[in-house]
Chain A
Amino acid sequence: MVASRIAFISEIKKKPVTEQYPYKPISVPEGFRGKPVIDPEKCIGCGACVNACPPGALSIYDEGNYRVVKLFLGRCIFCGRCQDVCPMGAVRLTDMFELASLSRDDLVQEVRLLLEKCSLCGKAFATRREVRHVEEKLDPEQRWLAHLCPRCRALVSAKMIGYARGCNR
């Protein structure tokens, strides 16, 4: 009994473990999964992050001349899959955790990218940045293909293969 009393008193005499937050800031370790931020200069609007996001916090839709990539922090589970799959390294999880907000709207980040229209049918099919990204990987003579929407591209390619094989339809 006496031993336990001595032990408890010695506990009380130790230095307090309470951190002084919010009067003093606290640090988080490297690799902490905090708020994801889309770097608007790097994003090409491909939608890989939207596919990978388990709760659907990231969404992508077309509005007017723009493709909008929208990140709703309220539904984000901070898993980091978006960072894993982004081909451009545009989405990064930062170390921010003080995300409290008085309005739901403040939890949104939007990146609006211009859409490219198909040079054949005029339909908007991808963002300009996406097209440019693909163009750079193609040989110069084939770059015009990147400016066609998938349907036109398929039709044109089929025709070219047909001509090459001697069909005249």
Chain B
Amino acid sequence: MRRIDRRSTWVFHLNSGSCNGCDIEVLNMFAPRQDAERLGVKLVGSPLHADVIVFTGPVTLQALPYVIRALEASAGAVAVLACGSCACGGGIWHDTYNVVGGIDKLYEILKERGIPRPPTVYVPGCPPKPEAMLYGLMLARGLARQKQRKQVYVEEAREK
């Protein structure tokens, strides 16, 4: 993944139909207690200006075209931060008739339109703590090490 320069990280918040829990926690990152701005993180008003796109929501059919347009416009962004259960895996309604189902299904649609899959950081949680999102941002900037790894346990056959 391309390393971002150790300068500020400008963030664009994209809500594709989420319940707002994650969005409020994104906003909370800029409140005095977590204060993301001391780390150089700033919210901007356009995807063209953004280094990292903070993505929430399970991608509803209604929001789909606008989300695609916003992501197409932000092809210069370095990473997408998929925040929350809805963005990472589609959430509790991942299979209903009006939901595309999270960011991976969105990437399949983008691929067919010729947009390469941007580097993505998945931040699970419902909603994830603002600190968890800051950790995800640090991961995206290459300043933190990933703690979560896949774990597989295989039971060994023993003598009966």
Contacts and interface: CB of A to CB of B under 8 A. Distances in A.
A76 interface: yes
Nearest to A79: B126
Given A18-B33, A22-B134, A40-B153, A97 B122 contact: no
A97 B88 contact: no
B89 A74 contact: yes
A108 B100 CA distance: 21
Interface residues of A, number: 43
Contact of A97 (B90, B92, B129): B129
A148 interface: no
Counting chain B CB atoms within 10 Å of each CB, the highest count among A40, A57, A98 belongs to A98
B135 A98 contact: yes
B155 A112 contact: yes
Given A21-B34, A74-B89, A66 B122 contact: no
Contacts of B50: none
Interface stretch (B4-12, B67-75, B144-152): B144-152
Interface string A66-108: 1000001111111100000000000000001111111111111
A102 B126 contact: no
Chain B interface, DSSP helix/strand/loop, else mixed? mixed
A21 B134 contact: yes
Given A99-B125, A106-B148, A18 B32 contact: yes
Q: Interface residue tally of chain B, by bracket?
A: 35 or more
Interface string A45-60: 0000000001111000
A109 B144 CA distance: 22
B129 A107 contact: no
A6 interface: no
Given A22-B138, A40-B155, A100-B132, 13 more contacts: A22-B135, A22-B144, A26-B131, A74-B122, A74-B124, A76-B85, A98-B132, A98-B148, A100-B124, A101-B148, A102-B122, A102-B139, A112-B152
Interface of B: 1, 32-35, 38, 85, 88-94, 102, 104, 119-126, 128-129, 131-136, 138-139, 144, 146-155, 157
Interface of A: 16-19, 21-22, 26, 35, 40, 54-57, 66, 72-79, 96-114, 128-129
Closest A-B pairs by Cβ, 9 of them:
A75-B89, A74-B88, A74-B89, A100-B136, A40-B153, A55-B92, A77-B126, A18-B35, A110-B152
13 contacts: A19-B34, A55-B93, A66-B155, A74-B122, A74-B124, A75-B85, A75-B102, A97-B132, A100-B122, A101-B146, A104-B122, A106-B150, A128-B155
